[in-house]
Structure 1
Amino acid sequence: MKRLTRAAAAAVLACALALSAGTAATATAPTAPRTDAGPSAGAVSAPLALPAPSGPHPVGSTVLPLVDRSRTDPWVPTADGRRLMVTLHYPAARPGGPRAPYATREETRRLAEGLGAGTALPADVLAATRTHSGRDVRPAPGRRPLVLLSPGFSVSRWTLTHLAEDLASRGYVVASVDHAYESYGITLPGGETLGCAACAALDEEGVPGSVVTLTRAADMRFVLDRLTGPAPAWRHARVIDARRIGMAGHSIGGASAATTMVADRRVDAGVNMDGAFWEDLPAEGLRGRPFLMLGTHDETHLPGGLDTTWDRIWPGLDGWRRWVTIAGSGHSTFSDFPLVERHFGLPHPELAPERAVLLTRAYVAAFFDRHLRGAPDGPLAGPTQDRPEAHFHTP
């Protein structure tokens, strides 16, 4: 059985910054980091503003704390059930309202500490990142497809905010999920911040990688129950169309999308953004459901690459499928981190952050538009002149 070690987490799972100070996660960057944009590290006092969403709808956001007391937490068995923090982004009835926060200062402080960033990533400035969501505003009328998002190992749900806001602006309800004790810092409603007990488990002895993906699949099943069941936890849950559900994730969150689809037939379509798979698909594959593998265009995720799990999983994807790699990208490309890296004067992959945002949004949205709304393939039909970085593979 494969073991999830600290080295594997750094090289394959962690959605981490390519810091000049040199963290273990720099092994994820396939290209020489760029330092020609942004101010000097540690000199930034103005908050980052995320790129505006591209869809026609204003965006609302609310935070939903959930506790599954039917399960024992695998990382802290003495905890009172399995805790999840969920941020919902959705089309809002009208623009305005108080701006939704990006993250808590304690979350960003612990992230910077966990990545070894020191003063290069000032916690208060990162926490003040400006979003485009109105906090707790009323949703727009109508029934919307639901997309679940799961972050990379050791980082939090807010590292996928630009994608979540963009999908919401295009008409989706998006549930970004923080999985207890798998992030450097997850702040609960009462102010307590949970640490990364799973990180400590990696340091001590390593664990089967499937513990993470199977646990996240159970987490997502619970989230779906609480959002689409007979007594939903969100008072506006009526806007969710439970017949149209997708899931995307980054790093091990992307691998968890496939595991979740195997475990729960309610998830109709899945996207893995640059994550290694930690268990094989069953003999029946995904039972005809569509799947997108979106990754780095380097020795890792090209066909025949270092991550052999993509080659191994590909034949079992028995429905609509695409294998797309992005030239110039790094492991962090599919999250908010390229924007953070440049803003704080940190090294970043060759691909410009604006292109990273545009391409990630374009291909993820096109996938869900195709499979949850019946739209044409659009950008996923094949290579196009306006997106020369994207390479399509049919091994």
Structure 2
Amino acid sequence: MTPKGEESSGAALDERIAGALVGAAVGDALGGPVEGYSPDQILERHGGRVHGVVGPWHGDAWRTARPLAPYHKGDGHVTDDTLMTHALVRVYARVRDHLDAYAVADHLVPDLLTNPRWIPELEAEALPLHRIFLAEKWLVARIHYGHADPREAGTGNIVNCGAAMYMAPVGLVNAANPAGAYAEALDIAGAHQSSYGREAAGVLAAAVAAACAPGATPDSVVTACLSLAKDGTRAAIERVCEVACRYSDFASALVPLREAVAPYDTVGPDYRSPGLDARRPSRTKAIEELPVALGMLVVAGGDFRHAVLGAVNYGRDCDSIATMAGALAGALGSPVPGEWSKTVAEASRLDLWEPATNLTEVARELFARDVLRRRAHETAFAGIGGPGCSD
């Protein structure tokens, strides 16, 4: 398998981090209003493919229309994917070191539970806990109320993309180190997910880290994922990306990518009515969102606009797919369209660039600290008869 794609730009670390975080938020906002629908339903509702920011599916009736009420999805509003991503960035900004499941318990959970913030979909200030999905509320229920061991708190939760959707910051602080990002994300995600949901979180972080490497391409990103991914997650990524290599237009790839991932997806053909075996732990299954996001990255040759629009028009859980595709394309250095980022920032009343500035500072501090730790290890290892150090 050799995905096509141009080499990434020579973007600096700060540009890649901004591209990934802003790109993820833009993808999230574009996908939100069509989440849960099929490509054919999206085509009919909008009179064609979605090519930018659109309004709510039910128009002005969004406040009462089921099953979406009371959330204002559309008009450039980000969803819980971005709220969780920014929350994880705030944890990095406080801890200023690598994170683990205990950092989730000590910092992320209290942030969700006690700090009111502007929630775009509610058009009000509220606790993030009041907006996040049930799979994310699990963090609060298990850790804050249930006093579960943070490393094992994810066990028993529904297995979905809930942890993977906000793991881009882990890849960014481990830029160009996919294996390090994978290991750190698996530790963090243990508080939230198990099985292939936790695995997807590790692989998404690894993919973002790989996208930050000099000369990275969609090919090198997928290769890094396949070198680390396990079980059904690896099989699903390999199959979807093999199919994606045959296409260069997202419209023609929508059905083939769904057919490629379907054997690994537990939700089934009706996204809003999953079967009894849906979202249960398995060695052979995978979440749908990550393989499809990587597939769209391959189809697009790494181009941000093409990858995100492919993810959006795919439907189903397309806000999370577009969040992941946007993070990956942005980390590769593909520019996020200014008209989209401006609209999303203004509509969501969020500074999309501040989290990137903060995370860049943390990433640089972390790297310097890691170098010192590595040198201390080299010295200690040499002292017990390991290879000597030249200095």
Q: TM-score, normalised by structure 1?
A: 0.29
Higher helix share goes to which structure? 2
If asked which structure has higher relative contact order (CA below 8 Å, sep 6+), I would say: 2
Higher strand share goes to which structure? 1
